Amino acid sequence: MRVFFRAGMGPCMGRQCGNAISRIMTTETGLDVSEIGYFSVRTPLKPMSLAELASLDDTDP
């Protein structure tokens, strides 16, 4: 879907609009959401500052 509509190409990578876009596509095409699919999550899952990364304890999972 991204390649055609460019939805999900912003800073959130579709985390905000992904479900809405999938629902719109199911309504317009008559297909089930399992046939349409969802956006795949791409890195970064959640942006993290270097300070946050540096403050992690080595024993953190």
Please check whether residue 1 is in contact with residue 25, taking contact to mean a CB–CB distance below 8 angstroms: yes
pTM given for the model: 0.49
User: Mind listing the pLDDT tens digit for each residue in 43-60?
Assistant: 656 778 899 888 887 765
Torsion over CA: 19, 24, 30, 36 (sign): negative
Residue 38: which of 17, 56, 10 has the closest Cα?
17
User: Mind listing the pLDDT tens digit for each residue in 21-51?
Assistant: 888 888 988 988 888 776 666 665 677 889 9
Query: Higher-confidence residue: 2 or 15?
Result: 15
Dist CA 38 CA 22 (whole Å): 6
- The proportion of the chain whose per-residue pLDDT surpasses 90, expressed as a percent, equals 3
Please tell me the predicted confidence (pLDDT) of residue 35. Answer: 82
